[in-house]
Structure 1
Amino acid sequence: MSLTANGPASKSLPIQTKLFINNEFVSAKSGKTLTSINPVDGEPIEKVEVAGAEDIDIAVKAARKAFETWKDSDGSFRRDCLYRLGDLIELHEDRLAELESLDNGKPIAVAKAADINLCKRTYKYFAGWADKVLGNVVPVDGHNMCLTVKEPIG
């Protein structure tokens, strides 16, 4: 279920309160929730689902299954995925900054300039390295050559 909460000096923002497992939003198996409190005024923001042991087991199984495909993907695919995440953060940076401000009480401008910007830049930075997995040629005795090949596992 998607609910709405009011941000500090902002419009109403839709907030997803379910768990995100296996590429979909799902309710917690236990039905437990946690009330997120606005640190500015002490008022409840929203109730969010709390993952229990069963939810965690399901999430870990889904992650292991997804890893099988991800680990065999080439660097350019990984690069494109990570860069796309950075692009999506940039596309939605105003909304993300408002949500971050609502959750932790810092000014929206600070959340946008620091937290959201750093998150976006981190994804784009590591995207740039995803297709740059290089080995080395190591000198050895005689007419021999030693090559190292790096193979990412995740």
Structure 2
Amino acid sequence: PTLSMSLLGGIAQDAAATDLKLVVGFGGSHELMRQVQTRQQDLVLDFTPLPPHEGVDTESLLRMSFVVIAGPDSALAKAHPSRRSLDVKDLQGQRFVDWLRDDPYGGANSARFAAHGVSVTEVGRVESFLHLYELLRAYKACTIAPDVRPT
């Protein structure tokens, strides 16, 4: 599952019910904002809150919690095998897979670590959940990601 996939079903149902043509694709926050500003798109959905841009109205539709995901052989999983909750400080020194596209206004995980005085060892970056799990297993690493589990 991906964050976009967890929301796409409802959006597609609403669009189909009103015969609204839906165009779905991938794009970075800067690219999506440029497309709206140049009127290439009427509406875009992004999963990174953006500050106001000239001529573009933004609205936060959803807030999601975040979870730590660790490969089964990672030091973090071995150190905390039965913990249901971790603090950012628990990631100190851990091998970490981050997201390829940083939030354009500062990487969310980087800012999170800096705020808590935590240092991790970045071993890779991915663009999608589709790539994430293999890297977590191979590098025996962890990550912080949106919680996309069904509620």
TM range (shorter): under 0.3
Q: TM-score, normalised by structure 2?
A: 0.25
Would you tell me which structure has more helix in proportion to its own residues?
1
Would you tell me which structure has more strand in proportion to its own residues?
1
Structure with max Cα Rg = 1
Q: TM-score, normalised by structure 1?
A: 0.24
RCO higher in structure (CA 8 A, sep ≥6): 2
